[in-house]
């Protein structure tokens, strides 16, 4: 792949012979002269330890990059959307009389 074809936040398919055994998908975080910094977002389970050791970040040369399949990108985006709803939990109000009593006993 060429530098001109790559933009920040692109999701690309990549391979790294040294670090990971299988190809993976990564999100472009930074573009260098001959390589990119990727956040690893999808990988083979056999590479789980290596990805963890890398803190989900890796620098990959342009020649080891290619466009990710659109089908795979849609699959990842669907997983990222969550149906979890967050509700604020009210904390119980302090009893002012009990606080005053605690202060006066000290």
What digits encode the pLDDT tens for the residues 56-99? 999 999 999 998 888 877 777 777 665 566 666 766 665 555 55
| pLDDT range class, residue 26, cuts 50, 70, 90 | very high
Taking Cα atoms as reference points, which of 21, 82, 22, 20 lies closest to residue 57?
A: 20
Domain ranges of the chain: 3-81
The residues near 35 (Cβ < 8 Å, ≥ 6 apart) are: 59, 60, 61, 62
Domain 3-81 has CATH 3.20.20.70: no
**pLDDT value at residue 75:** 78
**pLDDT value at residue 18:** 87
**pLDDT value at residue 17:** 78
Report helix, strand or coil for 55.
coil
């Amino acid at each position: 792949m060429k530098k001109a074809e790559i933009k920040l936040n692109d999701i690309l398919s990549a391979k790294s012979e040294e670090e990971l055994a299988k190809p993976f998908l990564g999100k472009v975080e930074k573009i260098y002269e001959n390589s990119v910094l990727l956040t690893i977002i999808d990988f083979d389970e056999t590479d789980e330890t290596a990805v963890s050791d890398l803190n989900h970040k890796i620098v990959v040369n342009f020649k080891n990059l290619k466009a990710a399949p659109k089908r795979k990108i849609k699959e990842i985006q669907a997983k990222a959307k969550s149906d979890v709803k967050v509700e604020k939990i009210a904390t119980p109000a302090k009893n002012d009389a009990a606080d005053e009593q605690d202060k006066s006993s000290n």
